[in-house]
A and B are shown apart, each in its own frame.
Chain A
Amino acid sequence: MSKARTSIVRTGAVHAALIAYTLVALFPVFLTIANSFKSRNAIFREPLAIPTPETFSLIGYETVLKQGDFLGYFQNSLVVTVVSIALVLLFGAMAAFALSEYRFRGNTLMGLYLALGIMIPIRLGTVAILQGMVAANLVNTLTALILVYTAQGLPLAVFILSEFMRTVSDDLKNAGRIDGLSEYAIFFRLVLPLVRPAMATVAVFTMIPIWNDLWFPLILAPAETTKTVTLGSQIFIGQFVTNWNAVLSALSLAIFPVLVLYVIFSRQLIRGITAGAVK
């Protein structure tokens, strides 16, 4: 009968389920990081324990930092991701503005053409992409990756940004025109600042698959100087499979940047996803 009683029971069940799943989600990550700071014996004797002064060891990290050029890989990943995001945002916003602001012949067709890439994975064109990159002498350069990731990110960016740009008030743009602003000034000075939240959403959606991609670094830029973190750790761990300290440390090193960024930006990121994704 009591409304309060049943709701307490129900809330309790909900919390139990959510806590259980949160443990499932976090446990593997926790396990990896915790064990990366332990000595080899401790890893196997008590895998679930957190490191203690007796079991603490940095041997894994020493191996990793001595053997692989992780700093270099990290830098490659950063360059590729940042430049790709910048290009996707700039080109994507420009195209989205053209599509949402002006009526011209072929507008709808152009929109559909650009939207095609949301559903068709760019990987299907790998055969010809590789040939093209070979012909353009871009194999084993970061430029090759940047070009591919820009093309990959554009369709979704155009789609999301044009939805948002339709909500920018026409009166505002017309006021700008009456004040003598050029179409370029209207885009850069009036519209872009207003769609900044959407740009953040797009940046997140663009970033995750780029940072984590293995396919294109493996195919287009596997050279030591152009390896990304993802490819680098994949190869490194493949070589050190039996050195558990090294493997766990390498994994932790690959997780750390993501973890730190996520802790800082999770609020914006999740807000972006929930606000921008499906209208």
Chain B
Amino acid sequence: MGSLELKSIRKAYGGHEVLKGIDLEVKDGEFVIFVGPSGCGKSTLLRTIAGLEDATSGSVQIDGEEVGHVAPAKRGIAMVFQSYALYPHLTVKDNMGLGLKQAGAPKAEIEERIAKAAGMLSLEPYLARRPAELSGGQRQRVAIGRAIVREPKLFLFDEPLSNLDAALRVNTRLEIARLHRSLKATMIYVTHDQVEAMTLADKIVVLNAGQIEQVGSPMELYNRPANLFVAGFIGSPQMNFIDGAKLGDGAAKTIGIRPEHIGLSRDGGEWKGKVIHVEHLGADTIVYLETETVGTLTVRLFGEHRYAADDVAYATPVIGSMHRFDTDGRVVNSGP
């Protein structure tokens, strides 16, 4: 149990439409990530699922049951907020137990569930503390613990890692992945960070300006982006876009090649160019090349390479790695 179905969800603030008809199905136990640029409506969609906002139209079903008029607390969901949103006046333990207490659960059961969640998240030493006495990472774990204790059908996360520093973010990411495996719960997770999306998700939903651009597994989105937006959004560094006419391809308005799908050589190749900048990252080397025929290209080489600015180099695309898009930005026929 723990499936979700959204049917043509629309949400407008005043005259401004923020969600423009969202249809989505989430299966039990799936880890689904909403990703998209800031302001595209991810939080609004999540809050509509939670019942914190009412959709202007459309239906939300959890486990096949319409929940449009059900209070948030009765929807069987739990939510982890970006700012943690812990109750500052309650101890860690009371923070985690408040929801159950409010629902009238027996004391022994509350204790037991808190103990279990605290065990999972190594929060036992902090149970008697108040949020002000915890570090950012600990607060975030309490917020997650508060969600676990409720044993919800659906976990909702709104950018839970964006207030943490880089190292902690990776750790907590692993923790959330582990949690998903051990709880086998359905999770919906909002982020604007595509790395988080690629590493955690079973299924990614790419949103843009209140609409779904594409739904698919991380590799589907990487290998077969349905349109220019997804192609540009997924993958780092960003995909190269080349005017189709420059390559003599009449059918495609734009052609995309990922930086890692381009080979580079000093001796010869498809497109001749001059190196304008090189970033040495150790594992990768990113070369920016000003070519004569196709404009500026970003090339990602694995390992260390001794290119330097002003070197002359030849770029060659890996065969079959090109993505072709028509004038509306939709894919014409995909690469491999």
Please report A residues at the B interface, Cβ cutoff 8 Å.
1-4
Contact = CB atoms under 8 A, between A and B. Distances in A.
B108 interface: no
Main secondary structure on chain B at its contact with chain A?
loop
B281 interface: no
A38 to B, nearest CB: 45
Contacts of B251: none
A1 B70 CA distance: 7
Nearest to B71: A3
B69 interface: yes
Contacts of A4: 69
Most B-side CB within 10 Å, residue of A1, A3, A4: A3
A4 B69 CA distance: 7
Contacts of B71: 3
Nearest to B67: A3
7 contacts: A1-B69, A2-B69, A3-B51, A3-B69, A3-B70, A3-B71, A4-B69
B67 to A, nearest CB: 10
Contacts of B70: 3
A4 B68 CA distance: 10
Contacts of A1: 69
Interface in B71-103: 71
A2 B68 CA distance: 9
B49 to A, nearest CB: 15
Contacts of A3: 51, 69-71
Nearest to B51: A3
* 7 nearest CB pairs, A to B: A3-B69, A2-B69, A3-B71, A4-B69, A3-B70, A1-B69, A3-B51
A2 B70 CA distance: 7
B72 to A, nearest CB: 9
A256 B247 CA distance: 78
A154 to B, nearest CB: 34
Contacts of A2: 69
Nearest to B72: A3
Contacts of B51: 3
Interface in B16-72: 51, 69-71
A9 to B, nearest CB: 15
A1 B67 CA distance: 11
Interface in B235-271: none
A226 B51 CA distance: 63
